[in-house]
Amino acid sequence: MSTFKAPKGTYDLIPPRSAKFLAVREAIAAPLRNSGYGYVETPGFENVELFSRGVGESTDIVSKEMYTLTTRGGDKLALRPEGTASVLRAALEANLHKQGNLPVKLYYSGSYYRYERAQAGRYRHFSQVGAEAIGAEDPALDAELIILADQAYRSLGLKNFRILLNSLGDKECRPAYRETLQAFLRGLDLDEETLRRAEINPLRVLDDKRPEVQKQLADAPLLRDYLCDACKAYHEEVRALVTAAGVVFEDDPKLVRGLDYYTRTTFEFVHGGLGSQSAVGGGGRYDGLSEMIGGPALPSVGWALGVDRTVLALEAEGVELDIARTTDVFAVALGDAKPTVFGLVTELRRAGVSADMSYGGKGLKGAMKDANRSGARLAVVAGDRDLAEGVVQLKDMESGEQTAVPLDALVESVRTKLA
């Protein structure tokens, strides 16, 4: 055993479970690629101000959970706690919004970091796949992203998730609600930090998960009662488009997200099998974020789906993913046959066949155990006598049938068997 362990709140992905994470990432990304979203990858760390301005200084993410560091040159950086601000920064820096028709549609996959209280389903290092549609204010984009996330989850076989939907209004109608909510919150029995947060961004208090706070919020004023006509019409069109696509959702007038940049449409995907950490993903519209980080007005919408949470949800439902075997052929070299067998394995790989072989000079019994553990459909076994006759033994691992195959016909014989 190593002297070192993975840091608290983090995890290692190792086979065979890592294959499940890869399958989830691919399932989420597939419908995005099919809908015009291009892949983007950003650094694991950014300027601290990108998040303090964009995500919000009053959020727990920035004020309590962000990993920060100072470089030797004195720059203040932060490990990225979320993806949207980084992707928008990258799009602005590359002037993607000036290079063609809007919206710019991007998706990403990677690791993110928050100093949270480590518990099941909530880690300090976690994986997400996200999507952003930048530069267009259109209810169809909001609906599209909700539908694509639903499609991704269902393609994995996930069933017991719910979609919660709400509108947070905009700069026209939210100020009046903000004042009403602040007046309500001042009359509650809240601790000093929560009251301070209420003065900075009262919607953040609605996202407080503590039972003693939520109990007092039962009669809180609802934002939907303060929406302007434009926001009401926008929200109704999003609802209509999602409904027309056959995607079921629940209206949740108390739903807010933990980031300051959200406006209008906001949504969350929750799963009942995850306990208190029920959210598997979420997102919404962030029409003012570009200006917050120094860019032009670019109304945008996006989401991030947690790979870790999705895997836990699949396990809670008992869903077994159909993960393709990683090895089609396993080769065993006996006696002095290793150079020839190694060459055959290389030839199979170049022909597009997944192949592995036994290493370390194991005997036939030990090598065939390795073949069984690999999950290979076929085994190629060759010894000195086989090579003298110009053949190898090709064995079907399921039926046990074994035939002699000429060396120069192995690739074609393997392809036929696998087909």
Residue 284 class from Cβ within 10 Å (0-12 exposed, 13-18 middle, 19+ buried)?
A: buried
- Digit-coded pLDDT (tens) for 95-130: 999 988 899 999 999 999 999 777 766 789 999 999
For helices 174-186 and 192-200, angle between their N-to-C axes, nearest 10 degrees: 160
Instruction: Decide if pLDDT at 276 tops 70.
Output: no
Tokens representing 233 are 């019409």
> What's the mean per-residue pLDDT of the chain?
91
pLDDT in tens, 32-47: 999 999 999 999 999 9
In the chain, % of residues over pLDDT 90? 65
Cα dist. 324→27, 32, 174, 419 in Å?
Answer: 14, 22, 50, 15
Mean pLDDT of 158-165: 95
pLDDT band at 218 (very low <50, low <70, confident <90, very high): confident
Per the rule left: phi > 0, alpha: psi between -120 and 50, beta: everything else, 356 is beta
Q: Residues within the annotated binding site for L-histidine?
A: 82-84, 114, 128, 132, 257, 261-262
Q: What is the pTM of this model?
A: 0.88
- Map out the domains of the chain with their CATH numbers: 17-173+227-317 (3.30.930.10), 329-418 (3.40.50.800)
pLDDT digits (tens, 9 = 90+) for 71-95: 999 999 999 999 999 999 999 999 9
pLDDT of residue 223: 86
Where does the pLDDT of residue 16 fall: very low under 50, low under 70, confident under 90, or very high at 90 and above? Answer: confident
Both tokens assigned to 341: 């067998």
**Once rounded to an integer, what is the mean pLDDT over residues 173-181?**
87
Query: 53: how many CB neighbours lie within 10 A of its CB?
Result: 19
Binding region: 82-84, 114, 128, 132, 257, 261-262
291-311 tens-digit pLDDT: 999 999 999 999 999 999 999
Tokens (6 digits) for 305:
């789906």
- Residue closest to 88 by CA, chosen among 370, 266, 301: 301
pLDDT exceeds cutoff 70 at 201: yes
Please determine, for residue 384, whether its predicted confidence score (pLDDT) is greater than 90. yes
